[in-house]
Amino acid sequence: MFDEECHFNQPIRWGMVGGGRNSQIGYSHRNAAQRDGLFKLVAGAFDLNASRGRDFGINLGLDSDRCYADYKEMFAAETQHEEGIQAVSIATPNATHYEICKAALEARLHVVCEKPITFTTEEAQELKLIAEKNNCVIGVMYGYSGFPMVQQAREMVQRGDIGDVRIVNMQFAHGFHNEELELTEPALKWRVTPEVSGSTYVLGDSGTHPFNLCGFITGLKVERLSCMRQSFIKSRTPLEDNAHVMMEFSGGAVGTLWASAVNAGSMHQQKIRIVGEKASIEWWDEQPNQLRYEVQGEPARVLERGMGYLYQDAVGVSPDRIGGGHAEGYFESWANIYHCFALAFDAANRNNQEVLSSLIFPGIDAGIDGVRLCEKCVESAEKNAAWVKYK
């Protein structure tokens, strides 16, 4: 079970740049950071529109004077604050990552940054030096290595369960942008605009995710690569909406990578398959609880999250948030139900029967029906499985 009690006495004081109204990624950062009580959101520069950002922050429960117009103002003020932020998460468009990271590190803040951390490796190396000098830690939000089965995969490869790695096939190939949706979708528009997105679209936006998993799981280093990239939507040139890469790793292994936004009809289709001398493992983010483990000459095995046969020490800082067998999304389902409970309780408090009756949630009648099912099943079973009336 996840140990809620292993908290710091003092959660890390934390701020955000970007991630305001309508930002899905901002919600994800806040949700993740606050899940275990280890971060406490105390400041933010959430929006280019300072007033909207302030409202947003206040709504999240921040003090209004710690809702800032921009990151410069925030870093300047917070470094003077007795209880100023110790860390900041950056969830802004790509083009701004470098300068905000640099400013944060120079303000001696720990950083969590959306990828890409910068547009060039030179810039990224520079950030690394500043961080080292200022005793700061940089986290980059490649979010898939936190899945327990990815961690299990890493441990299996590291222990030699599959033998030396020979082949790594990577893909993150969705189909959501097979048409020119940037004409109406701002969130796509900036991604295909080089000035904001950088030198790539799908390679950076999608392809770096399974590439990160490859490094995380195998530790392999690329020696050389060949990449063909295309813009099937012509207006996206020079950025690509599809790319294929072949690569050779140090030591003789080889790899392929497919990144795409035009894989029509696909959801994520993020997969990684690692072929070793003796066995292969494969993980797919759309069925994240399972890790396929295929030993040559033996039946394929499907490893499941939460089971005792996993490498317990290696899997998760919190392997049992939810328990084996439980559905992923369970927390979200419960949260949706609790959301309804809150609306119902509030409606009852206000004696608003109209709202109350419009809400659908498992209430006392669902409770009664569950009790009755048990009663009637027992009654039938005790009569040697005879048929019994339900009411």
Closest contact distance (angstroms) between CB of 7 and a second copy is 6
Among 236, 245, 271, 272, binds a second copy (CB under 8 A): 245
- Site residues for a second copy, 43-62, by CB under 8 A, read 56, 59-61
DSSP 204: I
Whether residue 188 contacts residue 177, with contact meaning beta carbons closer than 8 Å, is answered with: yes
Closest contact distance (angstroms) between CB of 73 and a second copy is 22
Among 76, 337, 357, 358, binds a second copy (CB under 8 A): 337
* CB-count exposure of residue 304 (10 Å: 0-12, 13-18, 19+): middle
- Site residues for a second copy, 273-292, by CB under 8 A, read 275-280, 285-289
23 vs 92, beta carbon nearer a second copy: 23
79 forms part of the interface with a second copy (CB under 8 A): no
Among 87, 107, 153, 192, binds a second copy (CB under 8 A): 87
CA 94 to chain centre: 17
336 forms part of the interface with a second copy (CB under 8 A): yes
Which candidate, 217, 286, 204, 199, places its Cα nearest to that of 245? 204
Sign of CA dihedral 27, 30, 34, 40: negative
* CB-count exposure of residue 125 (10 Å: 0-12, 13-18, 19+): exposed
CA contacts within 13 A on the Cβ side of 268? 16
- Site residues for a second copy, 299-318, by CB under 8 A, read 299-304, 307-309, 316-318
Interaction mask 199-218, a second copy, x per CB under 8 A: xx--xx--xx--xx--xx--
- Site residues for a second copy, 223-242, by CB under 8 A, read 223-230, 232, 240, 242
As a whole number of angstroms, the distance between CA 213 and CA 145 comes to 6
Selected range binding a second copy among 67-75, 77-85, 112-120, rule: CB under 8 A: 112-120
CA 320 to chain centre: 18
* Interface size with a second copy, residues (CB under 8 A): 201
Among 143, 193, 352, 355, binds a second copy (CB under 8 A): 143
